[in-house]
């Protein structure tokens, strides 16, 4: 009886203690990290979130049953940024906002 074996890579797990000032969390695959440093990625997101008008352009405040489409748009912008930097891999990004940006003045 033939039995195929498949090598399953060990997942990379990192635990980081959150700080009160944390604003967002970015989960991405190497397609992003190959061409954009974590610091540059955070600065990119921070710049976009620091302009209240930008957030208002994307969408109004989300309802209880809907995710904010602006987060998807921002993740898409970040993916496009990685593509413009020349990534040769797929770019998958999960962006989680840890702060309510819709209630800012």
Q: pLDDT in tens for each of the 105 residues of the chain?
A: 677 777 888 888 888 899 888 889 999 999 999 999 999 999 998 888 876 655 544 545 555 544 555 788 889 999 999 999 999 999 999 998 887 765 655
The Cα 73–Cα 79 span in angstroms is 10
Measuring CA to CA, which residue among 103, 97, 99, 86 is closest to residue 27? 97
The pLDDT value recorded for residue 64 is 53
The pLDDT value recorded for residue 69 is 59
The pLDDT value recorded for residue 63 is 54
The pLDDT value recorded for residue 98 is 86
Query: Which residues partner with 25 through β-bridges?
Result: 96
The pLDDT value recorded for residue 9 is 80
CA-based torsion, 51, 23, 61, 94: positive or negative: positive
* Phi and psi at residue 16, to the nearest 5°: -130, 130
The pLDDT value recorded for residue 6 is 79
The pLDDT value recorded for residue 34 is 95
The pLDDT value recorded for residue 1 is 66
Element spanning 93, H or E: strand 93-97
The Cα 42–Cα 17 span in angstroms is 17
């Amino acid at each position: 009886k033939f039995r195929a074996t498949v090598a399953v890579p060990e997942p990379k797990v990192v635990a980081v203690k959150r700080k009160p000032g944390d604003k967002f969390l970015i989960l991405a695959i190497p397609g992003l990290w190959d061409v954009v440093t974590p610091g540059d990625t955070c600065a990119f997101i921070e710049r976009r979130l620091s302009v209240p008008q930008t957030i208002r352009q994307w969408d109004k405040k989300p309802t209880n049953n809907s995710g904010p489409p602006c987060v998807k748009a921002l993740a898409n912008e970040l993916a496009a940024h990685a593509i413009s930097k020349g990534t040769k891999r797929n770019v998958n990004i999960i962006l989680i906002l840890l702060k309510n940006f819709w209630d800012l003045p």
